[in-house]
Amino acid sequence: MAFPYMEAVVGFMILMYIFETYLDMRQHKALKLPTLPKTLEGVISQEKFEKSRAYSLDKSHFHFIHEFVTIVTDSTILYFGVLPWFWKKSGEYVTTVGLNAENEILHTLAFLAGLMIWSQITDLPFSLYSTFVIEARHGFNKQTPWLFFRDMIKGIFLAVIIGPPIVSAIIVIIQKGGPYLAIYLWAFTFGLSIVMMTLYPVLIAPLFNKFTPLPDGQLREKIEKLASTLNFPLRKLFVVDGSTRSSHSNAYMYGFFKNKRIVLYDTLIQQCKNDEEIVAVIAHELGHWKLNHTVYTFVAMQILTLLQFGGYTLVRNSTDLFRSFGFDTEPVLIGLILFQHTVIPLQQLVSFGLNLVSRSFEFQADAFAKKLGYASELRSGLVKLQEENLSAMNTDPWFSAYHYSHPPLVERLAALDEPDKKED
């Protein structure tokens, strides 16, 4: 008897939904607490706490609805054979427009185009509500409807330009890969990730945001001095106009080898009136670089990708897998999609493990900034970012352990304070 892949996948998806909803309920209960955690009393103002609480509860209510609609939709699509039906319809469409439906690449691209249209339509109400109701209600949204839809159209345009060559290449590789298929697929995705990381900040990101050099002044001098002290090969220092879309703030770095760049959100500069707080945040980011966190993460992702492709090669010709989901043919891309669904349990475990590692890296980067003498500045900077972004002050330990890639503020402040107490 063939293994019931589809029933197992849908069953696990529902079980995960129940488990994650339980965690969401725990978090919702924590968000409703009327008082700050003791360690944040006197650190976070009561006004900011009330605003943060209201914002977090709004997002939590919205999340419950969104996740319920998502699990019902996804389970229905899989259980009632919508995917194989849509695959057949996309083949019929290819024939209708005068193309050869036997050409798997053309058939697959038509199928993906339909999926993209479907996802845009179904996601749009949630995106609009999140942006123009929740984010606007709490003072974060700075987008106009025109800018929102312009960004969406640009995203679709990029997908139409970039997607077909990538999908076509993957199909050809799988069709001709032979016994070394997993290695070929990994090599292709590795090369693609390098190309995208190179081109994204230069060609794609500027389509959505304006990047300008950080003006000369004390802030620039302090950041350049810090980078020089650490032998960080800083080539460019940008400010991005994040305020055109949101008042949330951030900072990040990118680049290969000796060509590193740092990007500051203009909202970060506006919110941190003290330059030292911004420099402390940069010191934390440089800690990730100095401690090789970015390299370790990249290598780990490459190993996981290779293992995933290795697993795919074991089932890609499984007739039972395709038939379980209602397919009477075995298209390459469909095989990849079905495989991704069957390994969801492993993906959940890996994601949890990566979150644990990420949280450890965050503590290490904080400690690195502290060793450079930025303990108090980083502390005040983290508090300022927490306040201005109205991040959740009260968090459930189970929820944060499962979901958060960054430790809650309470834990980070405690870790920053701990060495001082020991030294006393």
390-412 tens-digit pLDDT = 888 999 999 999 999 899 999 99
Per-residue tokens: 28:
């919702």
Per-residue tokens: 146:
């025109």
Question: Does the pLDDT at position 109 exceed 90?
Answer: yes
Question: Does the pLDDT at position 52 exceed 80?
Answer: yes
Q: Which residue has the higher pLDDT, 130 or 45?
A: 130
- Write down the pLDDT at residue 424: 39
Average pLDDT rounded to a whole number, residues 306-325:
90
Q: In angstroms, rounded to a whole number, what is the distance separating the alpha carbons of residues 351 and 94? A: 38
3-class SS of residue 101: coil
Q: Which of 253-262, 353-362, 365-374 has the lowest mean pLDDT?
A: 253-262
- Write down the pLDDT at residue 294: 87
Residues classed as catalytic:
285, 366
- Write down the pLDDT at residue 419: 58
Q: Which of 9-18, 76-85, 176-185 has the lowest mean pLDDT?
A: 176-185
Percentage of the chain lying above the pLDDT 90 cut: 58
3-class SS of residue 316: coil
Query: Which helix (H) or strand (E) is 254 found in, with range?
Result: strand 251-254
Q: Which residue has the higher pLDDT, 367 or 245?
A: 367
Q: In angstroms, rounded to a whole number, what is the distance separating the alpha carbons of residues 105 and 331? A: 10
C-alpha to C-alpha distances, 307 to 25, 290, 377, nearest whole angstrom: 34, 28, 42
Q: 73 Cβ partners below 8 Å, 6+ apart?
A: 122
Amino acid identity, position 87: W
Q: In angstroms, rounded to a whole number, what is the distance separating the alpha carbons of residues 88 and 97? A: 15
Average pLDDT rounded to a whole number, residues 160-169:
94
Known binding residues for Zn(2+): 284, 288, 362
Quick one: pLDDT band at residue 1, thresholds 50, 70, 90?
Answer: low
Q: In angstroms, rounded to a whole number, what is the distance separating the alpha carbons of residues 184 and 303? A: 14
Q: Which of 74-88, 116-130, 294-308, 379-393 has the lowest mean pLDDT?
A: 379-393
- Write down the pLDDT at residue 423: 42
Across 19-46, b (16+ Cβ under 10 Å) vs e yields ebbebbebbbebbeeeebbeebeebbee
Q: Where are the domains of the chain?
A: 5-195+294-417, 211-288
Is 249 buried (19+), middle (13-18) or exposed (0-12) by CB count in 10 A?
buried
Global pTM? Answer: 0.87
Quick one: pLDDT band at residue 421, thresholds 50, 70, 90?
Answer: very low
To which residue do tokens 């795919």 refer? Answer: 312
Q: In angstroms, rounded to a whole number, what is the distance separating the alpha carbons of residues 138 and 404? A: 22
Quick one: pLDDT band at residue 345, thresholds 50, 70, 90?
Answer: confident
Secondary structure of the chain: what % helix, strand, coil (to 5)? 75, 5, 20
Would you say 261 and 234 are in contact if contact means Cβ atoms under 8 Å apart? yes
Gap between the terminal Cα atoms of the chain: 69
Q: In angstroms, rounded to a whole number, what is the distance separating the alpha carbons of residues 226 and 37? A: 34
Taking only the tens place, the pLDDT of each residue in 32-45 is: 999 998 888 888 88
Question: Does the pLDDT at position 113 exceed 70?
Answer: yes
Nearest CA-CA partner of 38 in 413, 378, 359: 413
Average pLDDT rounded to a whole number, residues 353-378:
93
Question: Does the pLDDT at position 329 exceed 50?
Answer: yes
The superfamily in CATH containing domain 211-288 is Metalloproteases ("zincins"), catalytic domain (3.30.2010.10)
Q: 402 Cβ partners below 8 Å, 6+ apart?
A: 20, 23, 352, 355
Residue 415 C-beta-side C-alpha neighbours within 13 Å? 21
Q: In angstroms, rounded to a whole number, what is the distance separating the alpha carbons of residues 316 and 334? A: 10
The average confidence (pLDDT) of the chain is 90
Query: Which helix (H) or strand (E) is 236 found in, with range?
Result: strand 234-240
Amino acid identity, position 184: Y
- Angle, vertex CA 93, rays to CA 91 and CA 95, nearest 5: 75
Range list of H helices, 202-292: 205-208, 218-229, 266-271, 275-290
Average pLDDT rounded to a whole number, residues 20-33:
96
Q: Which of 149-158, 381-390, 393-402 has the lowest mean pLDDT?
A: 381-390
Say if strands 260-265 and 234-240 run parallel, antiparallel, or are unpaired: parallel
To which residue do tokens 């990538």 refer? Answer: 166
Average pLDDT rounded to a whole number, residues 267-285:
86
Quick one: pLDDT band at residue 177, thresholds 50, 70, 90?
Answer: confident
Per-residue tokens: 104:
């798997």
Average pLDDT rounded to a whole number, residues 137-158:
92
